[in-house]
């Protein structure tokens, strides 16, 4: 049956311009699409050849607009930077480098922890704090620094300048059973920590309050906590005493031994307390296991105390 194509359009671009490749096979001259007619229903089958370069397609205006905007933005940014670089005032104000935070290192120090009135843990460090960055040597010195233990941030720092300098410096804190904290600096000065104000308060009235110390104090040293919350003092005339801040009393060594040995003689206000301690490893019975002991004893309110120890021995 004869076939006749009337105004057949390219199935891809719709153009009627074509060339006949072979019988019933055609190629669109606009987009190079090949197609053919397979029956009297004039079914058009097309084949797109993507390897053949076709006629140039119109360029979308949107990409061109985006490219134009980018070039404009780059131009404006370049002009701004050039203007800032050319202005000394703008350069010094807009691009000033931030100052480095001063860093310190600790030497010859001690620390103690306590809680403030709100129950927050505070760490107090006292000692020689030396500058590590910058050149301001005036910031190097003896400091009391209070830290928030939860955040690690510094809350307050105090520089103390009136402590005598010695070759081997030593700073010691002592936390007493009533919560008071004392600091001995280079064995020469005694401070009490004001936990509310976060300050160090010099203790200078001992020689006025206690006649035994009227000659003045030359040396301070904490006693062993097992024997009471005391501070050994050496007066300027060479006499030794122990000062007990909680009870606010001063004893010489003979008085202390008498109080320690006479367990039944205690301060009238002394209260019975429970104490705990581990036994000592026995030298006579090395196979003896370490044990935890509990005992009751009248607490002499931070005054002289005899701390018992537990050890199995052949002495008894």
Sequence-separated (6 or more) residues with CB below 8 Å from residue 37:
3, 5, 8, 24, 43, 44
Report pLDDT for 106.
82
Report pLDDT for 305.
76
Report pLDDT for 54.
46
**DSSP per-residue string spanning 96-149:** PPPPPPP-EEEEEEEEEEEE-TTS-EEEEEEEEEEE-SSS-GGG-EEEEEEEET
Tokens representing 192?
Answer: 């009490």
Domain residue extents for the chain: 1-57, 61-94
pTM of the predicted model over 0.95 = no
Alpha helices for the chain (secondary structure H) = 61-86, 88-94, 206-209, 253-261
Regions of the chain short of the pLDDT cut 70: 1-8, 12, 37-102, 133-138, 262-267, 316
Report pLDDT for 167.
78
Report pLDDT for 2.
46
Report pLDDT for 32.
75
Report pLDDT for 51.
45
CA 239 to chain centre: 46
Report pLDDT for 238.
93
Report pLDDT for 95.
41
């Amino acid at each position: 049956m004869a076939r006749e194509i009337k105004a057949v359009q390219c199935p891809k671009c719709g153009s009627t311009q074509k060339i006949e490749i072979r019988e019933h096979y055609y190629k669109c001259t606009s987009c190079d699409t090949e197609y053919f007619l397979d029956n009297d229903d004039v079914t058009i089958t097309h084949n797109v050849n993507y390897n053949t370069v076709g006629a140039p397609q119109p360029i979308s205006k949107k990409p061109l607009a985006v490219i134009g905007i980018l070039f404009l933005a780059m131009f404006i940014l370049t002009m701004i930077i050039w203007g800032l670089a050319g202005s000394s005032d703008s350069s010094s104000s807009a691009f000033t480098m931030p100052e480095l935070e001063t860093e310190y290192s600790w030497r010859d120090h001690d620390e103690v922890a306590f809680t403030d009135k709100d129950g927050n843990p505070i760490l107090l460090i006292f000692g020689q704090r030396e500058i590590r960055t910058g050149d301001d040597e005036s910031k190097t010195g003896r400091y009391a620094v209070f830290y928030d233990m939860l955040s690690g941030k510094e809350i307050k720092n105090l520089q103390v300048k009136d402590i005598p300098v010695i070759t081997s410096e030593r700073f010691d804190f002592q936390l007493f059973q009533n919560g008071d904290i004392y600091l001995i600096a280079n064995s020469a000065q005694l401070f009490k920590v004001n936990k509310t104000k976060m300050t160090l308060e010099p203790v200078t009235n001992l020689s006025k309050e206690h006649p035994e110390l009227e000659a003045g104090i030359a040396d301070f040293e904490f006693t062993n906590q097992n024997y009471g919350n005391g501070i050994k003092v050496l007066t300027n005339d060479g006499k030794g005493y122990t000062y007990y801040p909680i009870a606010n009393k001063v004893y010489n060594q003979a008085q202390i031994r008498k109080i320690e040995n006479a367990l039944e003689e205690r301060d009238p206000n002394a209260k019975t307390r429970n104490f705990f301690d581990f036994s000592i490893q026995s030298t006579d019975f090395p196979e003896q296991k370490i044990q935890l002991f509990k005992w009751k004893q009248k607490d002499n309110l931070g005054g002289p105390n005899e701390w018992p120890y537990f050890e199995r021995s052949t002495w008894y």
